[in-house]
């Protein structure tokens, strides 16, 4: 017999990160959707001096941290091949080598280790989506990321959150 929790459709997350200059002012955003109810959470943040890669990783980290039911499956959509390949392909090798790569130390080791910690024991599926191609969830997080970068550049707080209804 299948329990209601395990039979529930996976949560859907869209994540994005960006930077104006690299390094420069950056922002991240996620959209976390319960497809059964249409309830969604949008959240943003940013940093005044960062890199695009850090913001992409941080968007996924913050989406995973926002899970209230960590036993529920989640499908994360991202237009960052680096993020997806880091978690799905390269991470096992880095861990086996003591969190190092062939050419030397890993960049963003703190965020990679946090991603590894957060996905441990979760059912996470990673899905690449093309950027700026009309995928509504991806377009939304791109917009939110840019708004977060605008707030960083203006000296405002980039942290923002909204609950809303979202239908895929």
Residues designated catalytic: 16-17, 56, 79, 132, 142
- Residue in the block written with tokens 């959707």: 33
What would the two tokens of residue 83 be?
């993020």
Residues 6+ apart with CB under 8 A from 13: 30, 31, 32, 33, 60, 63, 74, 75, 76, 77
- The residue among 123, 2, 3 whose CA lies nearest residue 71 is 123
Strands 11-19 and 100-101: unpaired
C-alpha to C-alpha distance for 64 and 19, rounded to whole angstroms:
21
């Amino acid at each position: 017999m299948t329990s209601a929790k395990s039979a529930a459709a996976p949560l859907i997350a869209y994540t994005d990160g960006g930077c104006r200059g690299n390094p420069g002012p950056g922002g991240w955003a996620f959209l976390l959707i319960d497809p059964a109810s249409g309830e969604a959470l949008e959240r943003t943040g940013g940093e005044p001096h960062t890199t695009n890669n850090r913001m992409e990783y941080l968007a996924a980290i913050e989406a995973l941290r926002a899970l209230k039911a960590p036993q529920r499956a989640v499908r994360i959509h991202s237009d960052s091949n680096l993020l997806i390949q880091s978690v799905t392909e390269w991470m096992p090798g880095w861990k086996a080598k003591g969190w190092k790569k062939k050419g030397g130390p890993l960049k963003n080791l703190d965020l990679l280790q946090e991603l590894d910690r957060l996905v441990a024991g979760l059912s996470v599926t990673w899905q690449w989506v093309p950027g700026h191609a009309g995928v509504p969830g991806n377009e939304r997080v791109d917009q939110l990321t840019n708004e977060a970068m605008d707030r960083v550049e203006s000296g405002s707080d980039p942290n923002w959150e909204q609950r809303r209804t979202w239908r895929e």
